[in-house]
Amino acid sequence: MLPSLVFHPTRVPSALIARRRRGRLARVSRALTGAFWLLAMPPPVLSADAPVAAGDGMASAATRDAQGPTQTDRFYFQTSVYTKHFHPDDEHNNSQKLVYAEWRLPHRWLEGQVLVGGSYFDNSYHQSSQFVFAGLLWRPVESVPELYLKVAAGVVHGYRGEYQDKIPFNGSGYAPAILPAVGYCYQRLCSEIVLFGTAGAMLTLGVTLP
């Protein structure tokens, strides 16, 4: 009887160990299967009207990039690239060295976006001049929001001496001015054709900043 008593205990632990191993393998298998199905499930679909948390900086940045050139509250800076006078004169300066800053406000009037700004440039007679203005910007083609029309109205200063009468109403050295423009943006890079009265046109290149 002793041999059987000695032999029997050695068989029971082996069976228990095998069952425990099979149990562990089954649990691991179930866990892996569950993880697979969780990963395979499609992500929840968010409504386009779902609110975005105000503190979500990444979402805000993505929204700004998606809006591109149509974002309503941003700055615009540009400089002159080329000037063409309609009636060229030997005295004319075609290098305006324009430094232009514009703030496109989140407000609308007459169906246009309100803007304010100022610029510093050399006028057509090589005189340092300034222009401060307010204006409106329209995007007339809904399917092409990158295209816009703009009108800036304000006061120009800098036409002095023998050139003071080259622009109307400049008796005091300050004259009213209205400058229409058409522009187009590719992402943050923009270009405009600006008309300065009947004297000529200017091609500009600029960049928008959020």
Domains and CATH numbers, the chain: 71-209 (2.40.160.20)
pLDDT averaged over every residue in the chain: 79
Q: Are 89 and 205 in contact (CB under 8 A)?
A: no
Q: Average pLDDT for residues 65-71, to the nearest whole number?
A: 54
Q: Which residue has the higher pLDDT, 175 or 9?
A: 175
Q: Label residues 100-118 b or e (16+ Cβ within 10 Å = b).
A: bebebbeeeeeebbbbebe
* pLDDT of amino acid 145: 93
Across the range 53-61, mean pLDDT stands at 47
For the residues 10-39, what does the mean pLDDT come to? 52
Q: What distances in angstroms separate CA 75 from CA 65, 113, 115, 202, one per listed residue?
A: 15, 13, 9, 20
The whole-number pLDDT of residue 19 equals: 62
Lowest mean pLDDT among 56-65, 181-190, 191-200: 56-65
**10 has a pLDDT exceeding 60:** no
Lowest-confidence region among 45-59, 85-99, 121-135? 45-59
Q: What pLDDT score was predicted for residue 18?
A: 55
* pLDDT at 36 exceeding the cut of 80: no
